[in-house]
Chains A and B, each alone.
Chain A
Amino acid sequence: MKFGVVVFPGSNCDHDAWFAVSNNLGQEAEFVWHDAATVGDVDAVILPGGFAYGDYLRCGAIAKFSPVMQSVRKFAASGGLVLGICNGFQILAESGLLPGVLVRNRGLKFICKPVPLRVETTNSPFTAQAQKGQRLVMPIAHGEGCYIADDRTLDQLEAEDRVVLRYLDNPNGSMRDIAGILNEQRNVMGLMPHPERVTEPLMGSSDGLAILQSMVSFVAQAVTPVLSAG
């Protein structure tokens, strides 16, 4: 399968995602420049971490208007898998592809550390290979990762089984300990932790493979990329 890794000028986890996919997963991966009119013939898109356009404004607020996000929007609408990691999650939220928004961490400081997470659902292309309730440890590295949304949105996310990952020890103040969520169609996922940073034993853990390998299996098996909701 082929992953497209979007490169904004300030992306800085683009190579990490590329390396995890191509070296540790043995899949094809190519970069997609931020002004690309199309994401090309890829099976999945990764929006990597970083500071897309500097993010001196709200994170992702400018990326939302980039040409590539129009392409990603179309790709998602056609059922393609989109994984937004860290800054990628912020961009998906700003773009309206995912509900809610990410604001400054509760402690107002950037935090980089491994955090324990619980897999809340396996009914998604991103976690089908994991076990419900499974504990995964992945690093976070963000200053604005506190997930907030209104109660109705949060209730809806939970009712529709769209909270994919929760923090076991909430590091940033995210509402209801949310670390990762799905869109309604379940083909777009955003998460603050970095699965691509833990994909081989040398990095201290391979827990991130649970996410990326689920995507590979899903694409390999998919007859049609549309999932049943709920």
Chain B
Amino acid sequence: MTPQVVEAHQLTAAEYDRIVALLGREPNYTELGIFSVMWSEHCSYKSSRLHLKKLPTRSKLVVQGPGENAGIIDIGDGYAIAFKIESHNHPSFIEPFQGAATGVGGILRDIFTMGARPIAVMDALRFGPLDKPHNRRTLEGVVSGIAHYGNCFGVPTVGGECVFEECYSGNPLVNVFALGVFRKDQIFYGKATGVGNPVIYVGAKTGRDGIHGASMASAEFTEESKQKRPNVQVGDPFLEKLLLEACLEAMETGAIVGIQDMGAAGLTCSTCEMGSRAGTGVEFDLKYVPQRETGMTPYEIMLSESQERMLLVAEEGREEEVLRVFRKWGLDAVAIGHVTDDGILRVKDHGQVVAEIPNRALADEAPLYDRPHTKAYRPVPMNAPAIPSRPTADAIKSDLIALLSSGDICSKRWIWQQYDHTVRTNTIQGPGSDAAIVRIKETGTSIAMALDGNARYCVLDPREGAKLIVAECCRNLSTAGALPVAATNNLNFGNPERPEIMAQLVESIEGIGEACKFFETPITGGNVSLYNETLGEAIYPTPVMGIVGLMKTAAPTPMHFQTPGRAVMLLGGFGQCDETHFGGTQYAKVILKSLWGLPPALDMDYEMRVQQGIRDVIGAGLAESAHDISDGGFAVALAECCFGPAEVGANVSPSLEGRREIALFHENPSRIIISTSEPERVQKIALEHGVGCAKIGVTMKERIRIGCGSETLLDCALRELKQPWETSLERTLHQP
């Protein structure tokens, strides 16, 4: 094996030596390929594993933590949910439509391979600014791809978020979250147990698509990356739907002992991981693998990432029960080998052994790196620039309109209207809300879920930024009346071999760990996507959190004001913000076109009490509406409260201190706007939790006014704000 061949497989010389030591000999070409994908960053987490161990992973409700296809939480009444988030960043850059589509397909398989029926999908998307045509094309392609796959499969896409930043121009992010439900006694794991049991291949035929996808996803982008289009797989959502139904039906026969989807690293990953988890070996012959093309080599078959395939282990003698179900759904299902007791992955081609590797060497003995990390990369100043004074009502109005029309804040209706978000008739609260809510028909429980990320905060301070994201996600759930119970995370970073990038990763993980421990939302799984760099320029550190909460099934508390004449209250108080902590806000980004200082200050203890307060207020049926303050600060949140179909606005006069721009647009956490007909009772509950809750005004028809003492800071008709907010994205995308 020449050094060039080893290098072409993105293995270092030291890693190659380790392979030789583990095998006691030189690997052949097929074996080298197998090692290269299993030891890729994407599959082995070799740079992050050490630090991921710092995350909390247990609670009374956690049935399955990290290490399986998805995490599992007990939701009571004999039911459980499985959920996870996963990235498909690199493929989506190379081919937006198929990259995003297969991203949805991959995470859906992770869910139903455990026996859970997917009932919700959400997406966290990051693109470069839309004034560049190629960013618009990427956005359109990604959204169409998600719609194409999810809509056909029949899973509602119930929410998500979408943010624009220059650093994603050459490296968009597509993170897909999926959640499924099943009976707690019908959970399936990816284990090849039972020596002699048949190993069965089901689903799509294997082709040459996606070979080395996992390795591609573990490298930086160069000018040549677009040439890697053949590395991106093509999705077939109809086939996936058949696979879902067939798998769930086959599981009901009781004849399946283990099952895993073929995702990254395809047949290689599924066979060695299933064997490794069970401490067994797997032996099979490639001649039985259904193939789409002729003349495929063992190397190609083992490394193919053709979509919509599953590997399962059945109980010996009961194969026919399983095969019958797959025949009913018109799918290929073939016994390709069996489980052995020697712990070896033994691949044959027409009887001849072409690869022979201990499963553990592939799945568990992958290199583990404690990469050096120094001070986190921070390409921005600490001190605030001169912030021009714009306290007049005219300036505030035009700044507010600019913020409401900006990419991050404007309505994402153009995106989510392309997603079927009501199929399965469980969606109690869909896109465009603080949290999405789906009910579980079989029980009286509903699941609330929120995705959140804020890379501007994280580039200023990865640790505090990560904590703010966890806090915001939990606040979104609490504002919907749900109790946050568990989390999944997607860590999108640059090249971990650069110590200042590695530091961003380590500090973010530690921040997430600290916050998730505090809010009692253990991490049950997730995904790490590194090498998000193009031509040496890394993306901002972008951890994305997906947190789920539980609540009783009931009509949701809307975020919009419903009735004129209600008291408007600010739970958590107005808060103070200095110029340093103002540098990561949307106001700084959109109006001042600048980034500096530190993210908003978070007091986790206070945040927790605010969240307990809002849950109690909602639980007592006192909130006619509730919406948390986040991007864009108080003024933007108040406007969003007014954008409901009832066209109810508000007249508020909070007591503001300091500069008006900062007071209205700072993004301090721990604040929720409520409308209620019983302000005293709301105040009493807030008091019990030791948090402020001032009545700041009343709702009124069709107008919005913000005053302070004798000053009028804003006074206009709702439609003047709503129209730009609602149509901004469409207008931007339809420009020539």
Question: Are A and B part of the same complex?
Answer: yes
Residue numbers of A with Cβ under 8 A of B are: 9-10, 12-13, 15-16, 19-20, 49-51, 53-56, 109-113, 139, 141, 143, 194, 196-197, 199, 201-203
Q: Which of these, A10, A109, A194, A196, contacts B238 with CB under 8 Å? A: A10
User: Which residue of chain A is the closest to B245 with respect to CB atoms?
Assistant: A9
B423 contacts A141, C-beta separation under 8 Å: yes
* A20 / chain B contacts, CB cutoff of 8 Å: 425
27 A-B residue pairs with Cβ-Cβ distance under 8 Å, sorted by A, are A9-B241, A9-B245, A10-B242, A12-B152, A12-B154, A13-B423, A16-B423, A16-B425, A49-B423, A51-B241, A54-B238, A54-B239, A55-B152, A56-B238, A110-B418, A110-B419, A110-B420, A111-B418, A112-B151, A112-B418, A141-B423, A194-B422, A197-B422, A197-B423, A202-B428, A203-B427, A203-B428
Most buried by B among A12, A13, A15, A50: A12
Q: Which of these, A12, A112, A199, contacts B241 with CB under 8 Å? A: A12
B417 contacts A111, C-beta separation under 8 Å: yes
Asked if B292 is an interface residue, CB under 8 A from chain A, the answer is no
* A15 / chain B contacts, CB cutoff of 8 Å: 424
Q: Which of these, A113, A143, A196, contacts B425 with CB under 8 Å? A: A196
Nearest CB of chain B from residue A88's CB, rounded to whole Å: 14
A112 contacts B425, C-beta separation under 8 Å: no
A141 contacts B151, C-beta separation under 8 Å: yes
Q: Which 3 A-B residue pairs are closest in the complex by CB-CB distance?
A: A12-B154, A54-B238, A141-B420
A9 contacts B242, C-beta separation under 8 Å: yes
User: Which residue of chain B is the closest to A35 with respect to CB atoms?
Assistant: B328
Known: A51-B241, A111-B418. 4 other contacts (CB 8 A): A16-B423, A54-B152, A110-B419, A203-B427
* A109 / chain B contacts, CB cutoff of 8 Å: 144, 147, 417-418
Q: How many residues of B contact A (CB 8 A)?
A: 31
User: Which residue of chain A is the closest to B439 with respect to CB atoms?
Assistant: A202
Nearest CB of chain B from residue A16's CB, rounded to whole Å: 5
A202 contacts B555, C-beta separation under 8 Å: yes
B153 contacts A12, C-beta separation under 8 Å: yes
Nearest CB of chain B from residue A85's CB, rounded to whole Å: 12
- CA A22 – CA B421 in complex, angstroms? 22
Q: Which of these, A49, A55, A112, A202, contacts B421 with CB under 8 Å? A: A112
Most buried by A among B236, B237, B329, B553: B237
Asked if B681 is an interface residue, CB under 8 A from chain A, the answer is no
* B424 / chain A contacts, CB cutoff of 8 Å: 12, 15-16
* B421 / chain A contacts, CB cutoff of 8 Å: 112
Asked if B684 is an interface residue, CB under 8 A from chain A, the answer is no
Asked if B49 is an interface residue, CB under 8 A from chain A, the answer is no
Most buried by A among B418, B425, B555: B425
A19 contacts B441, C-beta separation under 8 Å: yes
* A113 / chain B contacts, CB cutoff of 8 Å: 417
* B422 / chain A contacts, CB cutoff of 8 Å: 112, 139, 141, 194, 197, 203
Nearest CB of chain A from residue B296's CB, rounded to whole Å: 25
- CA A141 – CA B152 in complex, angstroms? 11
* A13 / chain B contacts, CB cutoff of 8 Å: 154, 423
Given contacts A9-B245, A12-B241, contact A203 B425 (CB under 8 A): yes
Asked if B330 is an interface residue, CB under 8 A from chain A, the answer is yes
* B238 / chain A contacts, CB cutoff of 8 Å: 9-10, 51, 53-56
A19 contacts B425, C-beta separation under 8 Å: yes
* A197 / chain B contacts, CB cutoff of 8 Å: 422-423, 425
- CA A194 – CA B241 in complex, angstroms? 21
User: Which residue of chain B is the closest to A12 with respect to CB atoms?
Assistant: B154
* B236 / chain A contacts, CB cutoff of 8 Å: 54
- CA A16 – CA B245 in complex, angstroms? 15
- CA A56 – CA B152 in complex, angstroms? 10
Nearest CB of chain A from residue B315's CB, rounded to whole Å: 26
B439 contacts A110, C-beta separation under 8 Å: no
* B242 / chain A contacts, CB cutoff of 8 Å: 9-10
* B439 / chain A contacts, CB cutoff of 8 Å: 202
- CA A203 – CA B422 in complex, angstroms? 9
B418 contacts A9, C-beta separation under 8 Å: no
* A51 / chain B contacts, CB cutoff of 8 Å: 152, 237-238, 241
A202 contacts B553, C-beta separation under 8 Å: yes
Nearest CB of chain A from residue B503's CB, rounded to whole Å: 43
- CA A9 – CA B329 in complex, angstroms? 7
- CA A50 – CA B423 in complex, angstroms? 9
Q: Which of B243-283 contact A (CB under 8 A)?
A: 245
- CA A197 – CA B425 in complex, angstroms? 6
User: Which residue of chain B is the closest to A143 with respect to CB atoms?
Assistant: B151
- CA A73 – CA B419 in complex, angstroms? 33
The interface bits of chain B over 322-352 (1 if a CB of A lies within 8 angstroms of the residue's CB, else 0) are: 0000000110000000000000000000000
Nearest CB of chain B from residue A102's CB, rounded to whole Å: 16
- CA A15 – CA B244 in complex, angstroms? 14
A201 contacts B555, C-beta separation under 8 Å: yes
- CA A9 – CA B238 in complex, angstroms? 8
* A111 / chain B contacts, CB cutoff of 8 Å: 417-418
* B423 / chain A contacts, CB cutoff of 8 Å: 12-13, 16, 49, 141, 197
User: Which residue of chain B is the closest to A19 with respect to CB atoms?
Assistant: B425
Q: Which of B439-476 contact A (CB under 8 A)?
A: 439, 441
- CA A16 – CA B422 in complex, angstroms? 10
Nearest CB of chain A from residue B438's CB, rounded to whole Å: 11
* B329 / chain A contacts, CB cutoff of 8 Å: 9
* B147 / chain A contacts, CB cutoff of 8 Å: 109-110
User: Which residue of chain B is the closest to A171 with respect to CB atoms?
Assistant: B417
Q: Which of these, A9, A55, A196, contacts B330 with CB under 8 Å? A: A9
A112 contacts B419, C-beta separation under 8 Å: yes
B241 contacts A110, C-beta separation under 8 Å: no
Nearest CB of chain A from residue B730's CB, rounded to whole Å: 10
Nearest CB of chain A from residue B181's CB, rounded to whole Å: 13
- CA A63 – CA B553 in complex, angstroms? 37
- CA A201 – CA B330 in complex, angstroms? 38
Given contacts A9-B242, A196-B425, A197-B425, contact A112 B420 (CB under 8 A): yes
* A12 / chain B contacts, CB cutoff of 8 Å: 152-154, 241, 423-424
User: Which residue of chain B is the closest to A56 with respect to CB atoms?
Assistant: B238
* B153 / chain A contacts, CB cutoff of 8 Å: 12
* B416 / chain A contacts, CB cutoff of 8 Å: 112
- CA A15 – CA B426 in complex, angstroms? 11
- CA A15 – CA B147 in complex, angstroms? 21
- CA A54 – CA B152 in complex, angstroms? 7
Nearest CB of chain B from residue A175's CB, rounded to whole Å: 22
User: Which residue of chain B is the closest to A14 with respect to CB atoms?
Assistant: B154
- CA A111 – CA B421 in complex, angstroms? 10
Q: Which of B389-443 contact A (CB under 8 A)?
A: 416-425, 427-428, 439, 441
- CA A16 – CA B154 in complex, angstroms? 11
The interface bits of chain B over 225-241 (1 if a CB of A lies within 8 angstroms of the residue's CB, else 0) are: 00000000000111101
- CA A199 – CA B441 in complex, angstroms? 14
- CA A49 – CA B236 in complex, angstroms? 18
